[in-house]
Structure 1
Amino acid sequence: MDSFDQLRPVRALFDSYPGSYWVAGGWALDLFAGRVRRPHSDVDVLVLARDLDQVAATFTTPSPMVQHPESGTRRPWVPGEQLTPGPDALVFPEDANPCPIQILLAASDADEWVFHRGRGTIRKPLTEITLTSPDGTPYLPPEIVLLFKSRGGRPKDNDDFADVVSLLDADRRCWLRNRIAPNHPWIPELH
């Protein structure tokens, strides 16, 4: 199984980034579990969409590109161009890092993270969405990662849930249970 060494390029890349960032997706669940649970094809990193000017100023060589969410095609990103949290993502050229890094965009409102799907009613204070690994890597808490994964229905998302659900304390379980569909197949495990 891979080691957390694959996250070193992320820490190095974001070392000079002045905004907040979080390792997201499967790697965030691995950091929470304290072990690498499965192979990963890339590293998802979440930044606030409102900080795109900081992204543009920090990552100039190589400059990230916009990746189309369905086709995967890439095009140059013009700093200042508005991107939409959720469907739009930034990626670096394939040869820029040993493990591909994808920058996902988060919606926010003042000091709150806002789940970009739905009506913006799912929120959490920004101060509550950061966990930190022993080596100082910031990552999203599992309940937020699993909220994103609950919408996909992909086998790896269900496997990720099964791998970490027993590690969730009562507060994390309750938060997730109250924000996914009432008939979601994960509900019984969250009680």
Structure 2
Amino acid sequence: MSGRWVPERPEDVAAVFAEADFPWWIAGGYAIELAVGRELRAHGDLDVLVLRRDQARVRDFLAGWDLYVADPPGRGELRPWCSGEVLRPPLHDIWCRRTLEAPWSVQLMLDEAEGTQWVSRRAPEVRLPVDRLGRTSETGIPYLAPVVQLFHKAKATREKDETDFEAALPLLDAAACVWLANAINVIAPGHPWLRRLPPVSKT
């Protein structure tokens, strides 16, 4: 994938999505910063998570933007996301810029849901009620709950993910820690973060 990235700020994204008729959450490292209430590090992009079932409304809402889907995911290829096109798994990663000449500024991520349950696209047995998927910052910006964001980061942990884990861990209550430990054990048994979390439940 090519092109220059100049990520939007969370407050700018919140202004764009202020009238959205679907749920959305700032994700990635910015979600952790919104949770802890301070900047932690530099960011190369800005992620926004939406539910796959809302994609038609998302596409219509961003009709004035230049939108490209990573197809196949993670292989370095982009193609336009055409109006009316339904993106099915495994497609989930959409690059967004305000105009054709503008830098990339938002990365949309499509996640799965069944009824009232969010379902991890990496491991369908990992679930959480949709109404517990996010939080709202003091300034009114929706962001992905730290426990869910840390689960996403656990699969291929980088230095920046360690920074985010250390910052977010004190925010997790006992129930969140148990959920995270069980979820990480599904995708990465033996992950070093598990030593900092409660023992994995056997039930």
- Consecutive unaligned residues of structure 1, counting only runs of 5 or more, are none
Deviation at 1:61, TM superposition (A): 0.8
Q: Are 1:48 and 1:106, in contact at CA under 8 Å, matched by a contact in 2?
A: yes
Q: Give SS of 1:75's match.
A: strand
Q: CA RMSD in A?
A: 2.1
Q: For residue 56 of structure 1, what is the aligned residue in structure 2?
A: 59
Q: Give SS of 1:186's match.
A: helix
Q: Give SS of 1:45's match.
A: strand
Q: Are 2:26 and 2:47, in contact at CA under 8 Å, matched by a contact in 1?
A: yes
Deviation at 1:158, TM superposition (A): 2.3
- Consecutive unaligned residues of structure 2, counting only runs of 5 or more, are 1-7, 199-203
Q: Are 1:84 and 1:105, in contact at CA under 8 Å, matched by a contact in 2?
A: no
Q: For residue 173 of structure 2, what is the aligned residue in structure 1?
A: 169
Identity of aligned residues (%): 36
Q: For residue 116 of structure 1, what is the aligned residue in structure 2?
A: 121
Q: For residue 152 of structure 2, what is the aligned residue in structure 1?
A: 148
**TM-score, structure 2 normalization:** 0.83
Q: Does 1:76 align with 2:83?
A: no
Q: For residue 27 of structure 2, what is the aligned residue in structure 1?
A: 24
Q: For residue 184 of structure 1, what is the aligned residue in structure 2?
A: 191
Rounded to whole Å, the distance in 1 between the matches of 2:19 and 2:66 is 15
Q: How many residues in Structure 1 have an aligned counterpart in Structure 2?
A: 186
Q: Are 1:85 and 1:106, in contact at CA under 8 Å, matched by a contact in 2?
A: no
Rounded to whole Å, the distance in 1 between the matches of 2:41 and 2:75 is 25
Q: Are 1:26 and 1:160, in contact at CA under 8 Å, matched by a contact in 2?
A: yes
Deviation at 1:87, TM superposition (A): 4.7
Q: Are 1:86 and 1:105, in contact at CA under 8 Å, matched by a contact in 2?
A: no
Q: Does 1:33 align with 2:36?
A: yes
